[in-house]
Amino acid sequence: MKQLYIKQKFFSLTDKFMIKDEHENDVYYVKGRFLKIPKTFSIYNMEGQQVALITKKVFGVLPKFTVEVGGQHVITIIKEFTFFKSRYTIDSAGIEVRGNWWDMDFQVFQHGEKIGQVSKEWFTWGDSYKAQILKEELETIIIALVIAIDCVKEDQRIASATSSV
């Protein structure tokens, strides 16, 4: 089992954040283009090679992300319409995300087998997640899921903050 820590800085002047291992070594970095349409996130290894690209689709009622690994489309992540509990559909690779009521912790399954678990780290500046990777060959996909789901949550937070003003 491998553990990764994904921490986005709350007040960052750059659209870049690091992913660290359990020994606090940098493993990946993510560059996001938040002001670009469509919104994109590129995941790089420490040698500077892009290992994945996440793109948020612009048009549609519900958030939808595509994930490319090695230039090939791997999965599409779609947030489902629900009233109480956030749910996500992943269109390929037999992957499913199951989360608790608050949707701050979730498990990742492939064909019914648990391949990862993600939990939100509380009392930190910015969004921080601990990802336990049980199937290392799917590490990049699990990281992409965390980033996409976090993006949906952030968009919802901004939308609710602006609607209450």
pLDDT tens-digit readout, 115-134: 999 998 776 555 688 999 99
Amino acid at 27: V
pLDDT at 84 over 80: no
**pLDDT, position 113:** 94
DSSP 63: -
Encode burial over 84-94: b for 16+ CB neighbours within 10 A, e otherwise. Answer: eebbbebeeee
Which residues lie closer than 8 Å to 5 by C-beta, 6 or more apart?
A: 19, 20, 21, 22, 24, 121, 128, 129, 130, 131
- Do 107 and 116 contact (CB within 8 A), yes or no? yes
pLDDT at 9 over 70: no
**pLDDT, position 114:** 94
If you search the block for the tokens 């493993």, which residue do you land on? 27
Architecture field, domain 2-78+117-163: Beta Barrel (2.40)
Residue 101 pLDDT grade (very low, low, confident, very high; cuts 50, 70, 90): very low
